[in-house]
Structure 1
Amino acid sequence: MTDVFRFDFGIGAARDEHVKVTDSTLYEPDRGYGFSSVTKVAAKSREEAEGMGSDFCIPVETSFLLDVENGVYTVNLLIGDAITATETTIKAGCGRLVAQRLRTVAGEFIRYSFSLSVRDGQIRLAFTGLAPRINALEVLSSNQTVTVFLAGDSTVTDQPEDGYPYAGWGQMLPKWFKQDAAIENRAVSGRSSKSFIGEGRLDEIWQWMKPRDVLIIQFGHNDQKPDEERRTEPFTTYKEYLKRYIDGARQREALPVLVTSVQRRFYEADGRLIDTHGDYLIAMRELAEEENVPLIDLAEESRKLFEELGPEATKSVFMWAAPGEFMNFPNGVEDNTHFQERGALQVAGLVVEQLKQLRLGAIQVAFR
């Protein structure tokens, strides 16, 4: 297993034990690295700069792919330009936001670091922005880094690229974390606390979890559903299934955190939010107290946010779109449960603020 990968992007010879990547370095399986497309990639050099800052690639509408063994990795990027300002957004894997609008002024170079958990044998970094850059990239194996696992439903999950701008709040969470923690979002659309276990998804988390890791658990939306595969009752089976998450994490010396279900977008005539989760919220709050588990009351925090914004403004939080507004939804959409990306960012921000207040030992130093 290779523990360190180093890449120098741009023109000319590679520097300091780095592998050179140019505007024609297309990913090939035999090579194991490269851009997913080079159609709009450009390579430039600047005489005004020295070292790694003297050349770079402009990765427009492309991703950089690197084949690795499964595990946790720390990624260090060098970004900048000697003569002009830059702006770069980076998403990892299936749309997980790791860097949003990183900006440099002319002559400024920044080093930006984060950690990734890889389970499919490949690191994928997608670049966008008004003027994206990549000067250098270093990837190091880091299996002692704390991993924050997310178990949940469609409001948490990594929504697929062809559903953009659909996004789960867990998909936006990496933006707030430094390289001290890797976010592993295992949430899946349509799952309840029961069906997530029944499909073996919790067992997968147990295979990877190590001491000091964190398990964040949000279920409830689908526990209300009538089918046998998903249905739980708030004060009996819902609590019983959630306790299996708690006990399993503690057995592995990891830290469980419960999250009450984020609210849906339904309002009373007076502008107050209608609670659609009822006893499931009460049951989770009770369980957190009974088992002495840290609780993020996202139901309450999202209620306050959505009531402050009101019925009209929350359309920009939830997946509401006019016909033609988003390419993937030419006929428009009105969804009062799921978020568009900017709404998922707001909800993720609520989660992060609550996590900071909890001051959990494993990740309290990991926030940006």
Structure 2
Amino acid sequence: MTQSYRFDFGTGAPAEGYTKITPQSVYDSFTGYGFTRTDKVNAKDRVEPGALRRDFCIPVETAFLLDVEDGTYRVSVLLGDEITATETTIKAGAGRLMVHKQRTTPGSFSRLSFSVWVTDGQLKLSFSGLAPRINAMEIEPAPQACTLFLAGDSTVTDQPDDGYPYAGWGQMLPMFVKQDAAVANYALSGRSSKSFISEGVLDKIWSRIKPYDYLLIQFGHNDQKHDEERYTEPFTTYKQTLKLYIDGARERKAVPILVTSVQRRFFEEDGSLRDTHGDYLTAVRELASEENVPLIDLANSSKALYETLGPEATKNLFMWLAPGEFMNFPDGVEDNTHFQQLGGIKIAKLVYEELKAMRLQPLMLYLR
């Protein structure tokens, strides 16, 4: 994993040492790079500001693909326009939020860097925003970058593009992490602490995690479900199973961090939040104390957030969608467990704030 890439987007002559990407540069396996679709990609050349700033692509409803070996890559992007304001959002892979509504004023340019965890041999960067721009992009291997691995369920996982605005908080966490760290989200919908292991997902983490990486562990939603594949009992098999995650991380000189289950949206008549996880929360808190493991008490912080917002405003965080509001859910939906993108961002911010408050070293260095 040694090759670096430098792309100059637009229609002008390419900057020295850069490969030109035009609105017609559709992905093909021979070149190994290009846009997924080009029918709505346009370009402008302002001529004056210099080789990389003078021209750009306007990437609407498309993604840029690059075939690479699996691993961590640092991506640097140049965004802006000489004559008008811009707003660009960039997501990596299955919707991991890297750059959120980045704005530039006329004549100003932003250079932003972030690290991306790549699997399946392809880096994918999707673009959106009110006025998206991409002027230039550099991509280089970053094998030494710190990685935050996530083990969890549907409230954490990367939800697919065709499920927008459905989002897990782990999908939104990258926007709170600096360029020297990447988020590797292995969380999967429907998994408990037990089935995550039996299906071999934890083994995938063990094959990739390295010393001084971090493993955030949040289960409980599906451990409650009384089927043989998933059920664990809070003070026995649940704690015993979670200890396998702790011991495995420590054996590999990585740092485990326990996370209590994020709360569901169920309110009592007096406006207080109803706890639906019960002993599973107590068990995680006990285990963190017994094993001297850092604890993110997301149950507590999410409870405080929901009660501050109240029953009506919290609908904006969850998958409470009106019919016709979102293309992917034409009939609407009312879901008190899973988040839409705004909720994913809010919960990821709670995780970020608790990580900051821990003041763990060197983790502090990697948080924005």
| Equivalent in the alignment of 1:177 | 177
| Equivalent in the alignment of 2:337 | 337
State the Cα deviation string for residues 221-277 of structure 1 (Å, max 9, x = none): 000000011000001100011000001111111110000000011111111111000
CA contact (8 A) 2:42 2:57 kept: yes
State the Cα deviation string for residues 180-227 of structure 1 (Å, max 9, x = none): 110010000000000000000000000000011000000000000000
- Distance, in Å, in 1 between the alignment partners of 2:325 and 2:86 is 27
| Equivalent in the alignment of 2:67 | 67
User: Aligned-pair distance for 1:367?
Assistant: 2.0
| Equivalent in the alignment of 1:299 | 299
- 1:48-197 equivalence runs, <5 A: 48-197=48-197
CA contact (8 A) 1:213 1:362 kept: no
TM-score by length of 2: 0.99
| Equivalent in the alignment of 2:36 | 36
Q: Which amino acid is the alignment partner of residue 208 of structure 2? A: W
TM-score by length of 1: 0.99
* Between 133-142 and 51-60, the greater mean CA deviation after superposition: 51-60
Q: Which amino acid is the alignment partner of residue 87 of structure 1? A: E
Calculate percent identity across the aligned residue pairs: 65
- Distance, in Å, in 1 between the alignment partners of 2:57 and 2:304 is 44
User: Aligned-pair distance for 1:48?
Assistant: 2.5
Gaps of 5+ in 2: none
- Distance, in Å, in 2 between the alignment partners of 1:300 and 1:42 is 47
Aligned residue for 1:217, secondary structure, equals strand
Total equivalences in the alignment: 368
| Equivalent in the alignment of 1:283 | 283
CA contact (8 A) 2:14 2:51 kept: no
User: Aligned-pair distance for 1:328?
Assistant: 1.2
- Distance, in Å, in 2 between the alignment partners of 1:172 and 1:78 is 22
* Between 292-301 and 10-19, the greater mean CA deviation after superposition: 10-19
User: Aligned-pair distance for 1:362?
Assistant: 3.1
Aligned residue for 1:364, secondary structure, equals helix
Gaps of 5+ in 1: none
CA contact (8 A) 2:157 2:169 kept: yes
User: Aligned-pair distance for 1:2?
Assistant: 4.3
Moved over 6 A (4+): none
State the Cα deviation string for residues 276-320 of structure 1 (Å, max 9, x = none): 000000000000000000000000000011111111111111111
| Equivalent in the alignment of 2:262 | 262
- Distance, in Å, in 1 between the alignment partners of 2:280 and 2:171 is 24
CA contact (8 A) 1:73 1:142 kept: yes
CA contact (8 A) 1:181 1:363 kept: no
- 1:229-248 equivalence runs, <5 A: 229-248=229-248
- Distance, in Å, in 1 between the alignment partners of 2:333 and 2:51 is 49
Q: Which amino acid is the alignment partner of residue 245 of structure 1? A: Y
- Distance, in Å, in 1 between the alignment partners of 2:323 and 2:83 is 41
State the Cα deviation string for residues 103-134 of structure 1 (Å, max 9, x = none): 11111111100001111100111000111111
CA contact (8 A) 2:321 2:332 kept: yes
- Supply the RMSD in Å over aligned alpha carbons: 0.9
CA contact (8 A) 2:90 2:99 kept: yes
- 1:194-233 equivalence runs, <5 A: 194-233=194-233
